[in-house]
Chains A and B, each alone.
Chain A
Amino acid sequence: MYTANWSVIPQNLPLFLEGVRLTLTISALSLVLSLPIGIFAGLCRVSRNRVIAFLSACYVEFFRGVPLLVLLIWIFFVLGRFLRLGSYWSAIVGLAIFSGAFVAEVVRAGIQAVPKGQMEAARASGMTYIQAMKLVILPQAIRKVLPPLASQFIILIKDSSLVSVISVVDLTLIGKNLVATTFRSLEVWSFIALLYFVMTFGLSKIIALLERKFRAEWQ
């Protein structure tokens, strides 16, 4: 029978914390990269130019349809080799492109949730479409999409555990390696699950706080 020995956790605490740091860094970098991708694709999606809107729809539908695991492997072995990205940046680019498709949908919904009169008022004052988007529509859309974007970040933290398959060192890979040397799979994986939970739950609490602050201001 298996007897748990939890001493493996405190003994390797610095390693776990390093894993948390790596996972948060990878998720944050992917998110930061997926925001411009997603905002751009979301803007294209609402464009009056049908070709642009169609291309953006293709991007969104394609990456929503491909499993992240397959995408990461493909990027690592094909695009990553070709562009000499290495596993770390292949992982971040893969996550960013994947997450960008979700961000695009969120941004599109956010833009469409801004009342029509806003664009009209801005254009009537002489602003160009781009100025109106930048100064009037997007600032409102972004506030509206803050909650779904926050959940996207939480999803990214969880999805980022897949990067270990292309041998990027994150919390999950650190766990795997630790189990390989200590054979303490129950203790290690339980603790890692807990760490993921703390990250995502903590984040959602912080976000809820930020959101409340925003809302108090102008709603």
Chain B
Amino acid sequence: MNDVMVSIRNVSKRFGALEVLKDVSLDIPRSQVFAFIGPSGAGKSTLVRTINALEGIQAGEIFVDGISVADPKTDINALRANIGFVAQSFNLYPHLRVLDNVTLAPLHVKKVSKAEAEEKGTTILASLGLADKVSAFPAQLSGGQQQRVAIARALAMEPKLMLFDEPTSALDPELIKEVLDAIRGLAETGITMVVVTHEMNFAREICDRIVFMANAQILETASPGEFFSAPKTERARDFLGKILNR
């Protein structure tokens, strides 16, 4: 078994004429939590979204647990079934109750039995403090609750990798903590995670590595201690100066 969960090798991506990723390379070891930080437009979202092929790439290779993401022969749906994805805007299915949101993919993608899916879904929801919300509709929940349901929905597939794209950016300040706590709890289970975030304290506390991106490139990869106390690049110093002295 390979101890690298995600291997990004010389990846380039363009939207038309705009270069969004320029020759980006990064290895994410198994069981580690990586934070992607950097200014708006740096390409953070694009980079996480290339990992589960929500965005295609023009050059380079990406491997998830040894499987090439861009290879046309790869069964992309089978690969995605192992990768949880949580977006800024939750994207819960509004026509389904919370538990049905959580069991939909296990039932139809993994083909587990309804009883098993519901038992597991209920357990996961309870572990995220949502035991009393299983039969609510998404619209009846607060933003923080919705985002925790989105996390539960991803976890129900028993992913080996979790991707978060600014999971708290759409939330009111008082709701951010409950979602970060949920992610923090996950980090302790040893699942590999990538979190795009603007929450510097969160990144500092729970992440193993900080990946700093700007202008379509990774400028620095460092431990939180190194990065926050002594960023190596001018661009990172500048970014931290702006974001921490707000």
Contacts and interface: CB of A to CB of B under 8 A. Distances in A.
A125 B80 contact: yes
Contacts of A143: 95
B157 interface: yes
Contacts of A128: 77
Contact of A121 (B77, B79, B85): B85
Nearest to A219: B139
Given A126-B77, A136-B93, A218-B95, 12 more contacts: A115-B91, A121-B150, A123-B54, A124-B52, A126-B157, A131-B109, A135-B104, A136-B104, A143-B95, A217-B137, A218-B137, A219-B94
Interface in B50-109: 52, 54, 77-83, 85, 87, 89, 91-95, 104-105, 108-109
Contact of B108 (A117, A120, A127): A127
B93 A118 contact: yes
Q: Which of A117, A131, A218 has the most CB of B within 10 A?
A: A218
A143 B139 CA distance: 15
B179 interface: no
A126 B105 contact: yes
Interface of B: 52, 54, 77-83, 85, 87, 89, 91-95, 104-105, 108-110, 137-139, 150, 153-154, 157
21 contacts: A115-B89, A117-B87, A117-B91, A121-B87, A121-B150, A124-B52, A125-B80, A125-B105, A125-B154, A126-B79, A126-B80, A126-B109, A127-B105, A135-B104, A136-B93, A139-B95, A140-B93, A140-B94, A218-B94, A219-B94, A219-B139
Contacts of A136: 93, 104
A117 B139 CA distance: 16
A126 B78 contact: yes
A137 to B, nearest CB: 10
B81 A121 contact: no
Contacts of B78: 126
Contacts of B137: 217-218
- A-B pairs, top 3 by smallest CB distance, nearest first, are A126-B81, A125-B105, A117-B91
Given A123-B54, A143-B95, A217-B137, A131 B108 contact: yes
A201 to B, nearest CB: 30
Contact of A140 (B89, B95, B108): B95
B121 to A, nearest CB: 13
Nearest to B140: A218
Nearest to B150: A121
B198 to A, nearest CB: 20
Contacts of B139: 218-219
B54 A120 contact: yes
A47 B191 CA distance: 36
B95 A127 contact: no
Contacts of A126: 77-82, 105, 109-110, 157
